[in-house]
Structure 1
Amino acid sequence: MSNLLIGSTIIKILLIPAYRSTDFEVHRNWLAITNSLPISKWYIENTSIWTLDYPPFFAWFEKFWSLFAQWIDPNMLVINNLEYASWETIVFQRLTVIISELVLYWSLKRRLVFVCESCRRNIVIDPYFILNSLLTHMHFQYNGFLYGILILSIVEAKRGQLLSSGILFAVLLNFKHIYLYMAPAYFVYLLKAYCFTSDQLSSFSIQRFITLGGSVIGVFALSLGPFIHQLPALLNRLFPFTRGLCHAYWAPNFWALYAAADRCFIFVGRRLGWSMNEAALGSMTRGYVGDTQFAVLPDIQASHTMILTLIAQLAVLQLLWRKPTFDNFLSSLTLCGFASFLFGWHVHEKAILIVLIPYSLMAANNKLHLRAFVMLSAAGIYSLYPLLFHTAETPIKLTFTLLWALIIIPGLAFTMKTSIKSILHPIEILYLLGLIILQLYSSIIHELVFGGFEFLPLLLTSVYCGVGVMYGYLLAMINVCFTC
């Protein structure tokens, strides 16, 4: 595993001059805010459109790196230096991401020690995480660092150290609040498995409940305490419900299919003379800010997405409550995140990684999980392709996808003494081949045929990958519900 770390680090260093997304400027601005301003202004400052909108632990994380940044290039810490990108700044920010991902490496080493000790044949699963980070962490969101904390929490749960697991998850929430997707599974599991000493309701331990609750509250108090005077502004930054249902590039979820269906109904409605919402006819969505409107189908409010998400989560949470084993916890954790990705409000496409990371831990449990993982990861990985849209980056993303398809997936199948071809249905294989056709169309054919309509490849990618992700979700739900 050390060799894999060295190899992946070398590749990342070689990619330092490669494409930078808007996330680069986001985190440069956060370095400037936390270094230049008192904490009373961190969640109020708005010189840049990329305002600080992560929880306080992450703000302190940025503050930590800014202490070193001032010795590298002080100009990167000037708030008014919008879009500043000196070579020193680029190298510094790239290296901070690489260094922070050592947490991911450490968490995987702990998993090898505590989880795979009696099951060495499954060791092939673990390098998948490093490969996944190579494929997806080409932006400045420090996701490898955060995934490391998540996996550490899961490892502690596997070891039976439930209090430590809960504390680590509380810490993670205060680094990045998107992990609230998984909070219901943690709540049910820790309540039932830690606060009850047996299956009897009378075994509820007040002492354990207070210990667990006090520990979690303590983490949040440490995080939010210094910002209590600006708590409304902080919460408004963390939960911007004024944004539309769909992100500018639709995440491949249920709402992408819903929005695409609305577009199709427009063509039908025009022919049949249906009454339509005229305000919604001119655009696919209203993008980053504002309410997403539909021409034919009913408009969706944030409350609707919350209700759908909770209903989907309850389907697995009730299983976890009845049988609070680690395997059921991992399943519920994954499917709670999955439900939030599919039905949540203003979901970003990168959130699919919150599903893929824990589901990869389940992929070698049985053939149905592996089958679902193949479909889900293929659609999920391809849905991230538009984030690397320059022609020069095409060989990079294709290379890593081929590594996944030719090494990781067959390796997982080998642990179960089977082959991918024997697991997948012919229709599923056709779907995977369709991703190749979609890539050829998006990268070559579309420009030759249309020379415009830039939205069309994105729409097709969202919808096609949305079908694969929804299908993977149904397979996962069927497997969990019939095996719990």
Structure 2
Amino acid sequence: MRDLLIVSTFIKLLLIPAYRSTDFEVHRNWLAITHSLPIDQWYIEKTSEWTLDYPPFFAWFEKFLSMFAALVDPEMLKIDNLGYASTETIIFQRMTVIVSELVLFWALSRYAKYFGNKYVNWVLVGSLFLHPGLIIVDHIHFQYNGLLYGILILSIVEAKRDNLLVSGILFAVLLNFKHIYLYMAPAYFVYLLQAYCFVQTNNGRHFSFQRLVVLGGSVATVFAISFGPFIHQLPAVFGRLFPFTRGLCHAYWAPNFWALYSGADRVLIIVAKRFGWSLNEAAISSMTRGYVGDTQFAVLPTIEAIHTMIITVVVQLIVLQKLWRKPTFDNFLSSLTLCAFASYLFGWHVHEKAIMIVLIPYGLMAANSKANLRVLIILSAAGIVSLYPLLFQPTETPIKITLTLLWFCAVIPALAYHVQTPLKNLLSAIEVNYLYGLIFLQFYTGFVHDMMFGSGQLPFLPLMITSLYCSVGILYGWGYFMLNYLLA
């Protein structure tokens, strides 16, 4: 484990000068807000367009980091210093990601201690701590997901150890760091209700009202600690956390069901023009924006937020009914992942980076069976490649491809050995051809497109092709996973 930490830290230090997205400025601005202003202004300050829109625990995390930032370069803590990126600021913020990710390392170490086969644990721990998607999103693009996944895995480990109250409290803490994990909450609710609030006695299983009060009180206390200081500005806080004015699809379509839906609408535009059908002209350009405002469709019916919510809830209920009937830990972990998966596939304004909320917990199940490993390969390949457009500069192309190839070459053969399946027998011919297609996809988007159309021409086309092709693999992986779970 120590060698893994040394190697991973060395790799991440080498990436400090790499490309940084606007998320780097987002978090610098949050450092400035939490350091310079009283807490009653944190969620109303709007000098920068990158306003604070994470829950209070993450705001306090930024406040904590700002104490050290003041010693490194006080200029980064000035609210009106928009876009500030001195060398000291860059190194400091990069290092905070590396150091905060030690929470993930600790969580994975505990996972290795309490979960099964030692050899497999080493492989899975390494595969998650050095996951290409996590490196791309956190250590190049710039976010703090390693810290958050560390808290999630700590909660999962405590659930495995049957410390269900601690597991629930940790998950409540996680929700108050980043609210995207609300998508996993239904699985936690069902599992903790069944496995913790029902007690086995000599006369059978009985509901314990006392345990419900303890669990509910513990979770409520976490939320009270988090939101209590902001009690007089809760509308402003919740307005930042849930910006429903944004459209169905993000500017770069996340490769989910709505990407295929949007792609179908693009195709139908061509058909409609050929046959003289009436079109919603305002919608023809709307799908290339997608950041804010209502997403419109030229031919297909318009999708509202309530529609995505209904579909997501229905899919989650299909998953949760089995967890309710059989509240085992394995079913809990599968349900947890599938609930997150449902929100990714059918949710409102999903970001492409959200695929990691599926890939990380699914990675814990990869060695359970040949079927799980098969799904992992397809999901990981499509999911990681779907993140490539985040690193659009040519200088990052060798990095993201090398990270991906090294990860697959190190992880997949080791896991295939564990499930006692030769690599050549692991995937079907169709699945292998799909993986080859990802290679051609990268070749086209990275080289051929600019050669055919010129640099900067039709910039949305490579993004659209990437989203559509990756969404096929991700939906296939979801269907396979869902079917195996329901029929097991």
TM class by smaller structure: over 0.9
Tell me which residue corresponds to 1:127. Answer: 126
Letter of the 1:359 counterpart: Y
Tell me which residue corresponds to 2:483. Answer: 478
Q: Equivalents in 2 of 1:250, 1:221: separation in Å?
A: 36
Q: Equivalents in 2 of 1:94, 1:394: separation in Å?
A: 20
SS of the residue 2:292 aligns to? coil
Output one character per residue of 1:234-269: Cα deviation in whole Å (capped at 9) or x when no partner. 001000000000000000000000000000000001
Output one character per residue of 1:389-418: Cα deviation in whole Å (capped at 9) or x when no partner. 111111110111101221111211111111
Tell me which residue corresponds to 2:418. Answer: 415
Q: Equivalents in 1 of 2:364, 2:150: separation in Å?
A: 14
Give the Å deviation of 1:419: 2.4
Output one character per residue of 1:19-53: Cα deviation in whole Å (capped at 9) or x when no partner. 11111000000000000000000000000000000
- Aligned ranges for residues 67-466 of structure 1 at < 5 Å? 67-116=67-116, 120-132=119-131, 133-138=134-139, 139-198=141-200, 203-451=206-454, 452-466=457-471
Q: Equivalents in 2 of 1:421, 1:454: separation in Å?
A: 37
Letter of the 1:407 counterpart: A
SS of the residue 1:286 aligns to? coil
Q: Equivalents in 2 of 1:111, 1:76: separation in Å?
A: 37
Distance 1:121 1:82, change over 3 A: closer
Tell me which residue corresponds to 1:23. Answer: 23
Output one character per residue of 1:128-171: Cα deviation in whole Å (capped at 9) or x when no partner. 11111334422332100101000000000000000000000000
Give the Å deviation of 1:370: 1.1
Give the Å deviation of 1:283: 3.9
Give the Å deviation of 1:231: 0.2
Q: Equivalents in 2 of 1:194, 1:314: separation in Å?
A: 20
Give the Å deviation of 1:284: 2.5
Q: Equivalents in 2 of 1:172, 1:185: separation in Å?
A: 15
Q: Equivalents in 2 of 1:40, 1:196: separation in Å?
A: 41
Alpha carbons 2:283, 2:296 under 8 Å: kept: yes
Q: Equivalents in 1 of 2:51, 2:419: separation in Å?
A: 48
Q: Equivalents in 2 of 1:282, 1:360: separation in Å?
A: 38
Give the Å deviation of 1:202: 6.2
SS of the residue 2:184 aligns to? helix
What TM-score comes out, normalization by structure 2 length? 0.97
Tell me which residue corresponds to 1:63. Answer: 63
Q: Which runs of 5+ in 2 are unaligned?
A: none
Letter of the 2:297 counterpart: F
Identity of aligned residues (%): 68
Alpha carbons 1:244, 1:288 under 8 Å: kept: yes
Q: Which runs of 5+ in 1 are unaligned?
A: none
Alpha carbons 1:135, 1:400 under 8 Å: kept: no
Q: Equivalents in 1 of 2:42, 2:123: separation in Å?
A: 43
Letter of the 1:131 counterpart: L
Distance 1:129 1:121, change over 3 A: closer
Give the Å deviation of 1:124: 1.7
SS of the residue 1:281 aligns to? helix
Give the Å deviation of 1:285: 3.9
What TM-score comes out, normalization by structure 1 length? 0.98
Give the Å deviation of 1:122: 4.5
Output one character per residue of 1:81-140: Cα deviation in whole Å (capped at 9) or x when no partner. 000000000000001110000000000111111113x55445322211111133442233
Letter of the 2:302 counterpart: D
1:35 partnered with 2:35: yes
Give the Å deviation of 1:11: 1.2
Tell me which residue corresponds to 1:6. Answer: 6
Q: Equivalents in 2 of 1:238, 1:257: separation in Å?
A: 27
Output one character per residue of 1:60-96: Cα deviation in whole Å (capped at 9) or x when no partner. 0000000111111111000000000000000000011
Aligned length: 482
Output one character per residue of 1:425-448: Cα deviation in whole Å (capped at 9) or x when no partner. 101100000000011101111001
Output one character per residue of 1:269-289: Cα deviation in whole Å (capped at 9) or x when no partner. 111121221211234243211
Q: Equivalents in 1 of 2:178, 2:13: separation in Å?
A: 26
Letter of the 2:467 counterpart: S
Most deviating of 77-86 and 276-285? 276-285
Letter of the 1:112 counterpart: A
Distance 1:120 1:443, change over 3 A: closer
Q: Equivalents in 2 of 1:237, 1:155: separation in Å?
A: 32
Q: Equivalents in 2 of 1:280, 1:201: separation in Å?
A: 59
Most deviating of 361-370 and 131-140? 131-140
